[in-house]
Amino acid sequence: MIGSGRKGAGLGLVVFERLGAAVYRRRRLVFISALIGIVFFAVLGVQALPKLDSGGFNDPGSDSAAVSEILQSEFDSPDADLIVALTGELPADDPRFAELGKSLTTKVAAIGGVKRVASYWLTPSPSLISSDGKGAVLLVTYDPAGGVSNSDITDEVKAVLAAADLGKTQVYLGGSSVVGQAITGQISSDLARSEAIAIPLTTILLLIVFGSLVAAGMPLLVGLASIFGSFFVLYLLTYQTDVSVFALNLVTGLGLGLGIDYSLLVVSRFREELASGREVSTAVARTVGSAGRTVVFSGVTVALTLAALLFFPQFFLRSFAYGGIFVVLFAVVGAVIVLPAVLGLIGPRINSLRIRRSVDRPNRGARWATLATAIMRRPWPVAIGCIAVLILMAWPALGAKFGQIDERALPRDNYAVLDSAALTEDFPGLGRAPIDVMVPAGVDTEAVAAYAARLSLVASIEGVDSPVGMFEDGTRVGDPTGRAIWTSDGYSRLIATSTERPRSPEAEVVIAQLRSVLAPTAGVLIGGFAAQYTDSQQGIIRVLPWALGWVLVTVLILLFLFTGSILLPIKALILNILSLSAAIGVLVWIFQEGHLTWLVGDFVNTGTIDTSTVVLTAIVAFGLSMDYEVFLLSRIKEEYDRSGDNTASVALGLQRSAGIITAAAVLLAVNFAAFIPASVTNIKILGVGVTVAILLDATIVRLLLVPAFMRIAGRANWWAAAPLRRLHARLGLAEH
C-alpha cells in the first residue's frame, strides 16, 4: 500500500498549489495576456484553412511513391492532377470540335502553375477518347514547384472553361485536384454546420450542468483558446510540411470538448473550496493543486496517446497528431493557468446569474455512491454482463474489410462524384487507373517481353503495354499503343491495366500478385493508384505494432506514476480496449454493412471502411477514455490515501466524480456527434466512432465495470512490489 502524507518528492500537490498561488497573484496580467493571445491566434490561425491539403493517404517512402518520382523526373509524365472531358454532338475528330479542343488546350496550358497539358487533339490516343467517339479529354498536370496551390489552378481552369464559347459541348471535370477541392469545400461547409448544431446544444447543456451563466462561459474561454491556438500552430506547420484539412474537425471537436471537461473539473473543485469557507486566494491555490494536477496528468496522457499517430507515414494521420497534441496543450494551459486567473478575479461571482438555486452547494452525489455500493455487492454478475454486452457490440469488427477514401466519400449528388461517374462510363481508358511497372535499364528486349507476358497472366489484368508491344493472357497481341513514353536513361516502363477499382481490397490482391511475378532483374518497382493504396495499407500495418506499443507502454507508466499500482494500469488498458472494440464493431456494422442510415444520414456504402479513419478514431477515443480514467482514479485514490478502505474509497470516489464524468461525457459526445450529419463519410465515421466510444466508456465502463472490478480485486488494486513502491515514492505524481 502507498502511504499518505503531504511531504515527499515528485510532482505533487504542493507544486501545483504554488502554481495556483502564483497565478492568483498575477491574475490580471494572466487574463489580459490570454485575451491578447486568443485574438492573435485567431487572426493568424484562420489563414491556415486555404493552405490545408485533402490528400495525405499515401506512404511517401514506398515503392509506389518512388515510381511517382521516376515518372516525374525521368519520363516527365506524372499522374494528371485534373481531367477535362469535352463531349458533344460531333465526333471528336470533326474540325470544328478539334478547333475548340486545341484552343482550350492552349489556354489551359498558359495558366500559371500548369506544367503540361496532354490533349487528344495534340497526341491522339485511344485512352483519351470516349467510347462513342464524341468526346475527348485534356490531362492537366500541375507544377509542384510553381508556387500556386492546386485549388487556385483548378479555379483558373474552371474560369477558362466558363469563358469559352462551348455551345452544346458538355464539360466534365475529374482527377485528384477536383476531388480534393470538393472534399475541402465540403468539409468547410460541414464544419460550419457542425458548429451550428453543437454550439447551441452545448450552450444549453453548459447552463444546465454549470448552473449559472458566468460559470457556463468558462469552458468557452478554454475551448476557444485551445482551438485558435491549434489553428495558429497548424498555420505555421503548413510552411514546413503538408497538413490535412481533416485535422480541422478534430481540433474543433477536441478543443471545445476538452475545454468543457477540464473547466468542469476545475470549476467544480473551486466551488467545493468556496463552499467549505476558504478565501478566494486559497481556493484558487487548492483547486490548481488538486483539479489542476489531474488536468495536467490527463492532458499528458491524452497527448502522448495522440502522439502515436506520428508513427504513421501518411501525413493524413500525422496531421491529427499535430493538431491533437497542441489542442490538448492549449486546453491544459487554459484550464490550469488562464481559468484559475479568471476564477481569482470573479471569486464567488462564479455563481452569478444562476439558473439553479443550489449551484453554490456542491452536489454530494449520493445516488452515485448508492449505485457503486449496489454494484460492489454483486460485482461478478455486473462484470460478466457488461463484458458480454461489449463483446456482442464488438463482434462485427471481426468481419471488417478495409479500404481507402476516394470520391465516394462525398455525397452522391456532389459534382465531383457525378463527373467522375460520367468519366468512368464514357471514357473506359480513364476509368481503369494504370499500374506502372518500372524495369531498371540494361534488361534486354526479350527479358522485358517475357516479363510483360508473365504480368498479363495475372488475374484481373486485361493487358500489359510495354516498349516491346501489347500483351494479353501471356501473348503479344500488337505493337506498343503510343500511350506513353516507354524508356528513359534509367528505366523501361510497362503499363498494366486492371479491371479492379484501384483503392479497394481487390486491387491490393492484384498488386501483391504482380509483385510476386518473377522479375527479370532486381530493383523492379510497381506504382500507380492501386499500388499507392496497397503501400498505404501495408505502411499502416507495418507501424501499427509500434504505435500500439507506444500507447500501451506510456499509459502503463503514467498510470503507475499516478496511482503507484501495478494492477490498475493493466485494468484500465483492458477495459478501454473492450469499449474501443465495441465502438469499432458499431462502425463496421453501420458503415460497412449499411445499417442505421436513417439515423446517421445517407452515404455511399463501398462495402469497406477507411483504414486511416478507423486508426484515427481508435487512438482519439482511447485517449479520451484515459481522460475519464484519470478523473475517476484521481478521486478514488485521494479517498484511499486518506482512509485505506478500498470499498469505501471506490464508493466515495464515484460519488465525487461520477457526476462530473457523466456531464463531461455528454457534453463531449455532443461536440463529436455534431460531425455525424457531415457529408464527407470519413468525418461521419469519426463522429459516430468517438461518440459511441465516449458514451460507452462513461457509462458501462466507468460507472459499472470499474466499481465491479475494483471490488473483486480488493486490496490488490493498490499492490506494488517494494522496488516499485520506492520508485513511486520518488517519482510519482500522487498528492504528496
More confident of the two residues 722 and 395: 395
Is beta strand 491-498 parallel, antiparallel or unpaired with respect to 461-466?
antiparallel
Instruction: Please list, in sequence order, all residues whose beta carbon lies within 8 angstroms of the beta carbon of residue 398, skipping any fewer than 6 positions away.
Output: none
Query: Cell 507502454, residue?
Result: 553
More confident of the two residues 486 and 19: 19
Is the pLDDT assigned to residue 431 strictly greater than 60?
Answer: no
Instruction: Please list, in sequence order, all residues whose beta carbon lies within 8 angstroms of the beta carbon of residue 481, skipping any fewer than 6 positions away.
Output: 125, 126, 465, 470
* Euclidean distance between CA atoms 161 and 176, whole angstroms: 18
Which string of b and e fits 636-661 if b means at least 16 CB within 10 Å? Answer: bbbbbbeeeebbbbbbbbbbbbbbbb
Nearest to 126 by CA among 416, 422, 480, 437: 480
Helix (H, G, I), strand (E, B) or coil at 53: strand
What stretches of 238-354 show up as alpha helix (H) in DSSP?
247-275, 280-287, 293-306, 315-333, 339-346
Is the pLDDT assigned to residue 10 strictly greater than 50?
Answer: no
Helix (H, G, I), strand (E, B) or coil at 441: coil
* Euclidean distance between CA atoms 431 and 421, whole angstroms: 9
**Which residues sit opposite 86 in a β-bridge?**
136, 171
Cell of 27: 491574475
* Average pLDDT, integer, range 511-523: 95
Please, what is the end-to-end C-alpha distance for the chain in angstroms?
15
pLDDT category at 420 given cuts 50, 70, 90 is: confident
| pLDDT value of position 472 | 93
Query: Looking at the chain, which residues constitute the CATH 1.20.1640.10 domain(s)?
Result: 17-56+181-357+367-407+536-731
Question: Which conformational region is residue 525 in: left (phi greater than 0), alpha (psi within -120 to 50 degrees), or beta?
Answer: beta
What digits encode the pLDDT tens for the residues 325-339?
A: 999 999 999 999 999
Is the pLDDT assigned to residue 9 strictly greater than 50?
Answer: no
Reported CATH class of domain 17-56+181-357+367-407+536-731: mainly alpha
Domain 81-174 has CATH 3.40.50.720: no
* Euclidean distance between CA atoms 203 and 194, whole angstroms: 14
pLDDT category at 7 given cuts 50, 70, 90 is: very low
More confident of the two residues 711 and 408: 711
Burial status of residue 348 (CB atoms within 10 A of its CB: 0-12, 13-18, 19 or more):
exposed
* Average pLDDT, integer, range 572-593: 94
**Which residues sit opposite 87 in a β-bridge?**
135, 170
pLDDT category at 365 given cuts 50, 70, 90 is: low
Helical (H) or strand (E) element with 195: helix 176-210
Whether 6 contacts 14, CB under 8 Å: yes
Most confident of 319-333, 487-501, 710-724: 319-333
Query: Looking at the chain, which residues constitute the CATH 3.30.70.100 domain(s)?
Result: 81-174
* Average pLDDT, integer, range 469-493: 86
Cell of 333: 494551459
Residue 168 DSSP class: T
* Euclidean distance between CA atoms 475 and 22, whole angstroms: 81
Cell of 668: 463531449
Dmax (CA) for the chain in angstroms is 93
Is the pLDDT assigned to residue 425 strictly greater than 70?
Answer: yes
CB neighbourhood size of 112 (10 A)? 11
Which string of b and e fits 423-439 if b means at least 16 CB within 10 Å? Answer: beebbebbebbbbbbbb
What digits encode the pLDDT tens for the residues 640-694?
A: 888 888 888 888 888 888 888 888 888 889 889 999 998 889 889 999 999 999 9
Most confident of 195-204, 268-277, 475-484, 574-583: 574-583
Q: How far, in Å, are 58, 313, 534 from residue 61 at the CA level?
A: 9, 8, 13
Is the pLDDT assigned to residue 548 strictly greater than 70?
Answer: yes
| pLDDT value of position 5 | 38
* Euclidean distance between CA atoms 459 and 192, whole angstroms: 46
pLDDT category at 619 given cuts 50, 70, 90 is: very high
pLDDT category at 733 given cuts 50, 70, 90 is: low
* Euclidean distance between CA atoms 728 and 641, whole angstroms: 14
- For the CA atoms of the chain, what is the radius of gyration? 30
The proportion of the chain whose per-residue pLDDT surpasses 70, expressed as a percent, equals: 94
CB neighbourhood size of 34 (10 A)? 20
Query: Cell 450542468, residue?
Result: 209
The predicted model scores a pTM of 0.84
* Euclidean distance between CA atoms 615 and 682, whole angstroms: 12
Is the pLDDT assigned to residue 482 strictly greater than 80?
Answer: no
CATH topology of domain 422-534: Alpha-Beta Plaits (3.30.70)
Is the pLDDT assigned to residue 173 strictly greater than 70?
Answer: yes
What digits encode the pLDDT tens for the residues 595-615?
A: 999 899 888 888 899 998 999
| pLDDT value of position 77 | 64
| pLDDT value of position 476 | 93
**Which residues sit opposite 392 in a β-bridge?**
none
pLDDT category at 360 given cuts 50, 70, 90 is: low
More confident of the two residues 569 and 361: 569
* Average pLDDT, integer, range 460-470: 91
